[in-house]
Structure 1
Amino acid sequence: MTMRPWELTLTGPLTTLEDAIAILDRVALRIVLVIDDQNRLLGTLTDGDVRRALLKRHTLSESVQDVMCSTPRTAKRGWSKDRVLAVMEKYQLLQLPVLDDAGVVVGLETLHDLVNPLKQDNPVFLMAGGFGTRLRPLTHNCPKPLLKVGDKPILELILESFIKSGFHNFYISTHYMPEMIVAHFGDGSQWGVTIHYIHEHEPLGTGGALGLLPHDGINLPLIVMNGDLLTTLDFRSLLDFHGEKGGVATMCVREHEYCVPYGVVQSDGHKVRAMVEKPVQKFFINAGIYVLAPELVKCVPYATRIDMPTLLEKQIAQGNDVSMFPLHEYWLDIGRMEDFQKAQQEFGHL
């Protein structure tokens, strides 16, 4: 008997956070329902819960019961659509588990299924002007965003991932071999979207092209993404997070582990206090995906070279809030030849 999609979200309280994240990614309902051995609901885990856990440095080996929401909002079996929608609207929920009188999970209502999907009007800016020098000779006669992973160019895979989430208003920055990118994507009509091109006559860094955008047309938060990334990130979830946290920008980050290949000596002056063999250090690294408030986009000077980290650091120095959004989804920066080969191997699993 085929399982219903919501049944694939069910898991036990001792499931590891890593396995729960895998369920979130695989089932794509943006929630995990934690149940006991009688199928009674113990709690829920959403993208937001995962990111809060990562920010608090919880490890992926911890049990889901340590980070789940143990008092989730629920619906009763038999509630009308209007009543379910009213609860979702009041508490700003995207999902609502449905329970019977004994607290057993009997279903899952999602806002996506209850409401006709609407277009996402936020503009998307895809940065596709780089030279791709580390991928030569592949990029001698082809811009990196048009290199194929599987049977499609990298940039087309990115575009289609946004389209599946309802985005339709795109800008693409170009510099290296721009005519090839324009020839491939045109005005976007073959995908049912609108594409405008922002050409950098001289390289302007990772943030300078923002100053070439038609600022009077940027009235909603803008998603900016490097044109050489593959990810299964839910872009609507990113926008929801940005809206919840406020501030002028949200930067996606990825946790990176580095193992020091030697024994590290901790000292106090000339005295040895401890020795740690091959310690592992963890850092959050820039994932190359941002959400920018319209006022930030409009403050970038015309045709001025600036990198995105510098732009955000200036905002922080001025006292403006910049949030970070930790990614647990698949993410690959195709910057080197080994990354490109890895993308070919993993493409079929995306």
Structure 2
Amino acid sequence: MKTLILAAGKGTRLRPLTAYVPKPMLPLQGKPLLEWVLLPLIAAGMRDFVLAVSYLAEQIVNYFGDGARWGVTISYSRGPEPAGKAGEIWRARELLHSGDDPFLLVPGDTIAHLDYRELLDFHRSHGGPVTVAFSRRYRLEVGTAELDEKNRVTRFREKANLDQPVSTGAYVLDERILSQIEALQPEGREVDLPAEVFPRLLAQGTPIYGYVGDYSWWDVGRMNDYEKLTGLSPAQAGEILGGGGRDGHLQSL
């Protein structure tokens, strides 16, 4: 089974740090961010990886090479510009081909305590072309309120947990998804997976399944997110980066 890791973006929300270093290569507790993404996947038994790269790609290629240092195989899908989640799948389609096996898609900037084996078992047991990984853990950055018919506040909740599953950016897909992406004419433009491809599937009556878990995750997409992780104590870093943390979303740190 193959795993596609998205590492092509320009990381504009992390400027100026990403002006000369691609986001996946930003240092985090002694390793590049992308290595912390890779290690749990290896621990879950993944051995065949495709890295979708574009912006400052050589830095990623020079560090990770062919994957031999970690006992895995790494190939690279390259393009002059980022292509969006679905566009990167289309660009890497020949590298992802592995018969009837599905493939795993994960973001290169998110650390998740997701049980990948359980996710894959769920996907296989349901038989659909797509499974989306959801977490019950997401803490809102803003306060919310309940109002009565006269607009009087009856209840106020400060940065509460969202009461519904949130996508953490990991998907299991099979090659049936390729025809859906091709129909959107992905050559030369960005094509998004949840915003463009998934609505097509739903409109056709094709099932998209959701695996829901109670796992922690950290999306390192903004400067304050990154600074929180780099500022962790050794004990906190071990809990989060070692996969044992139970503290919820990064915003709760």
TM-score of the aligned structures, taking structure 2 as reference length: 0.80
Separation in 2, partners of 1:263, 1:150: 38
Q: What does residue 252 of structure 1 align with? A: 133
Matched, 1:145 2:21: no
1:19-98 paired onto structure 2 within 5 Å: none
Which one has more relative contact order, counting CA pairs under 8 Å at least 6 apart?
2
Matched, 1:264 2:146: yes
Separation in 2, partners of 1:187, 1:201: 21
Separation in 1, partners of 2:34, 2:142: 35
Question: How far apart are 1:241 and its partner, in Å?
Answer: 1.0
Question: How far apart are 1:298 and its partner, in Å?
Answer: 5.2
1:1-350 paired onto structure 2 within 5 Å: 122-215=1-94, 217-219=97-99, 220-255=101-136, 256-258=138-140, 261=143, 263-267=145-149, 272=150, 276-278=154-156, 282-297=163-178, 299-301=180-182, 303=187, 304-309=189-194, 310-344=196-230, 345=232, 346-349=236-239, 350=242
Question: How far apart are 1:136 and its partner, in Å?
Answer: 1.6
Question: How far apart are 1:313 and its partner, in Å?
Answer: 1.8
Separation in 2, partners of 1:245, 1:195: 29
Say if 2:131 and 2:211, in contact at 8 Å, map to a contact too.
Answer: yes
Equivalent pairs counted in the alignment come to 225
Say if 1:257 and 1:283, in contact at 8 Å, map to a contact too.
Answer: no
Structure 1 runs of 4+ off > 6 angstroms? none
Give unpaired runs (5+ residues) of structure 2.
Answer: 243-253
- Per the alignment, in what secondary structure is the counterpart of residue 148 of structure 2? strand
**CA offsets 1:184-219 (integer angstroms, 9 cap, x no match):** 111112222111111122321222111112347243
Separation in 2, partners of 1:156, 1:148: 10
| CA RMSD across the alignment | 2.3
Say if 1:259 and 1:278, in contact at 8 Å, map to a contact too.
Answer: no
Question: How far apart are 1:161 and its partner, in Å?
Answer: 1.4
Say if 1:258 and 1:282, in contact at 8 Å, map to a contact too.
Answer: no
Say if 1:205 and 1:306, in contact at 8 Å, map to a contact too.
Answer: yes
- Per the alignment, in what secondary structure is the counterpart of residue 181 of structure 2? coil
- The 1:297/1:218 distance shift into structure 2, 3 A limit, reads farther
- The 1:305/1:230 distance shift into structure 2, 3 A limit, reads same
Give unpaired runs (5+ residues) of structure 1.
Answer: 1-121
Say if 1:218 and 1:294, in contact at 8 Å, map to a contact too.
Answer: no
TM-score of the aligned structures, taking structure 1 as reference length: 0.59
Say if 1:149 and 1:343, in contact at 8 Å, map to a contact too.
Answer: yes
- Per the alignment, in what secondary structure is the counterpart of residue 159 of structure 1? helix
- The 1:135/1:258 distance shift into structure 2, 3 A limit, reads closer
**Considering only CA atoms, is the larger Rg found in Structure 1 or Structure 2?**
1
Letter in 2 for 1:265: L
Separation in 2, partners of 1:172, 1:263: 43
Q: What does residue 42 of structure 1 align with? A: none
Identical positions, percent: 32
